[in-house]
Structure 1
Amino acid sequence: MTEFDTVVKEHFPTLEIYTLPLTRAHGKNHPEVFRVHELFRRMNEKVKDSGSDKPDLDEEFTELREVTGQYALPGDACETYEAVYEMLSEADDAYYA
């Protein structure tokens, strides 16, 4: 099992739960979270569809880094916001390891 596979197994179920509420809680002040949610949803589908193969997520990770400012947290980030960005950053690092 690769490092990325481990991160997917550990973090993607939580990200699946956390990204939508993040849009509700912070979307008004941080509209980029809607794009984060959509990108994660697309990534999660690709991971599920790929089976044991590593999916091509270059485009999604590149855009995530752009829209999040390299996973930089805003001053009003809650624990869920922090957790989402931390898990996405870990997935990004593991993908390219």
Structure 2
Amino acid sequence: MALINDYLNTNQEKLALYTTAITRAHGKNHPEAFDVRELYTKIEAKVKAAGTDQPNLVAEFEQLREVTDHYTVPGDVCETYEAVYKTLEEADRIYSA
């Protein structure tokens, strides 16, 4: 089950940069961006700690679905915000499969 680890490691640089960027660009109007950033950093830490083992990310993905309204992209955000949601949604799908 290294598939989730591979996916997240492949997208780690982009997600680290983009989750920070959306808090700066949209945090005032979309405070959930800060929750998304925090949850992503928890996921990232768990993946790193797990090495090649499957990390337990159930709680983080449940919280992400809740704070993002199941990855619904707000209508007034940039492509970077959308990319974060789409990438995390795909990670959630891979993890839940």
Bin for the TM-score computed over the shorter chain: over 0.9
Identity of aligned residues (%): 52
Structure 1 runs of 4+ off > 2 angstroms? Answer: none
Give the deviation of 1:37 after TM superposition.
Answer: 0.2
| Corresponding position of 1:88 | 88
| Corresponding position of 1:69 | 69
**Partner Cα separation in structure 1 for residue 29 and residue 8 of structure 2:** 29
| Corresponding position of 1:14 | 14
Query: How many residue pairs were aligned?
Result: 97
Give the deviation of 1:11 after TM superposition.
Answer: 1.6
- TM-score, normalisation: structure 2: 0.94
Q: Residue type matched to 1:42 in 2?
A: K
**Partner Cα separation in structure 1 for residue 32 and residue 96 of structure 2:** 24
Give the deviation of 1:13 after TM superposition.
Answer: 2.0
Alignment RMSD, CA only?
1.2
**Partner Cα separation in structure 2 for residue 25 and residue 96 of structure 1:** 30
Q: Residue type matched to 1:25 in 2?
A: A
Runs of 5+ consecutive residues of structure 1 not aligned to the other structure: none
- TM-score, normalisation: structure 1: 0.94
| Corresponding position of 1:30 | 30
Give the deviation of 1:22 after TM superposition.
Answer: 0.6
Runs of 5+ consecutive residues of structure 2 not aligned to the other structure: none
